[in-house]
Each structure stands twice: as C-alpha cells, then as structure tokens.
Amino acid sequence: MNKRIVLIFISFFLIPFIVSCAPKHVEMPSYADVDLNSVISDLSNVTSIEAVMSMEYEKNNNLMNGDASLVLSEEHIDLKIYYLGFLAGYLKEQNGVVAASQKLDRNKSAILIEGLKNSFFWWKIDDYTIDDEEDVYKLMNFNRKIVISKKTMLPIMQTIELYNGDELKISYDSPARLEPEDIDFSYISPLISWYQSAMRIELNNHLLKIKIKSYNLKTKAASAQAGAIK
C-alpha cells in the first residue's frame, strides 16, 4: 500500500487503541410474536450508546484496518482514535457542527456522521409507514427504508437517500447481547439488550465495516435515576 495513504490513515481514521473482548454470540430466542411498535417504544428510551469497535475502511480498493471508540446520541457523535495509548485522531459532531482532526470529504463525512447515527439508532425514523411481509417488516418514509427481521426484531438492512441524491446502504449481521452484568432490567427491556454486532456501510466508492467488541447503552430512566442520586 502507498506509504502516504497509510500515514494519512494512521493520523486520522482507524488506529488500534484498545483490546476488548468480543461480544458473546449466544443463541437468540425468537421474537416473532412481539409487537413491532412495542419494540420501537422500548428503543425510544435509549438516549446514548457507547461502543468499542474494530473497523475496516475501503476506498478505491485501498483497505485500512483498526479500532475506534464511539459515544453516540441522536444529537452528537464522539469518535476517538488512539495509537500506542495516545489520542491520534477524533471526530466530533454536535447538532450539525463538526470538528475533526483532519478535513473530511463529502463521502467520508456522510459515512461517519449519517452512517454511524442511522446504523446504531436505526429506530429513529419519522413519519414512517410499515409494510408487513412474511418474514420482515419494512419501515419507510420519504428518504429511508429499514428492513427488520420478525424473528429477531433487529434490522437486516436499510437505505438512506441523502440530500444530494446519493444512496447510503447499511447492512447488519451477527446478533449479540449485552453482558448480564451490564444489564439492569429495571431500566432496559430484555428485548433491547440484543443488538447487531456487525455492520457494513456503503456510499459510492467508500465502504466501512464495523465489528462491535463492546457495547453499552443508557436509557432515559437510568439517566433520571443518576441525576436524582446526584
């Protein structure tokens, strides 16, 4: 690989910073009889997600690998990249205001901001209709389509039409569950303790693959309780 490409990549995007145990993939029960609206209602209580991920980024047949940490809510993104234990790059977005360690082109910005937000917070969709098919539900609005497995109640894929007409494609695989010690069922529905641990985000000639190593979430109830304790 061209040395200059490697250096640019190391200085900004995907740099190993932490070793974390992979999520345990256990047999997931069937949720075929669960009402989709109740699932979305439970998920709407999630306020933020934290994840440690291995990532592969490919552009024009140049492949780069590494790890990253992510703190994500509907309003902000905090993506940090480390090298040998030191902060080497970052991307932050708060209500549309972006700060990054290096300038982002349009495609990379769309993958890292629109792609990450919509892939993790997939249930955040407005004014949608539901198509009830044999094995899946399809949630659709003017620019998004989300396909959800009836068996797992997890997304399989989604497409997003961007403002410039480009299409962002997201696909999912490998259901995993929050570690039992990380689950407080007084705040988290047992169903939403499951998540997709593998994601693939595509836009034009850019491809980002994500494999989640550790995952946690916060809910409105947990945040309110923490505030009351303070």
Q: Which domains does the chain have, with CATH numbers?
A: 3-229 (2.50.20.10)
Task: pLDDT band for 182, please (50, 70, 90 cuts).
Answer: low
Q: Are 107 and 123 in contact (CB under 8 A)?
A: no
Q: Are 224 and 47 in contact (CB under 8 A)?
A: no
Mean pLDDT of the chain: 83
Helix (H) or strand (E) holding 110: none
Give tens-digit pLDDT for 139-172. Answer: 999 999 999 999 999 999 999 999 999 999 999 9
Q: Is the dihedral of CA 114, 117, 120, 123 positive or negative?
A: negative
Task: pLDDT band for 25, please (50, 70, 90 cuts).
Answer: low
Which pLDDT does position 67 carry in this prediction? 85
Does the pLDDT value for residue 19 go beyond 70?
A: no
Which position has the higher pLDDT, 86 or 106?
106
Helix (H) or strand (E) holding 207: strand 206-219
76-83 β-sheet, strand order: 97-100, 86-94, 76-83, 62-73, 46-59, 206-219, 194-203, 167-177, 155-161, 144-149, 136-140, 129-132
The span from the CA of 118 to the CA of 158, in Å, is 9
Which pLDDT does position 83 carry in this prediction? 65
Task: pLDDT band for 113, please (50, 70, 90 cuts).
Answer: very high
Which pLDDT does position 186 carry in this prediction? 62
Give tens-digit pLDDT for 27-82. Answer: 788 888 999 999 999 999 999 999 998 888 888 878 777 788 999 998 999 998 77
Q: What is the pTM of this model?
A: 0.83
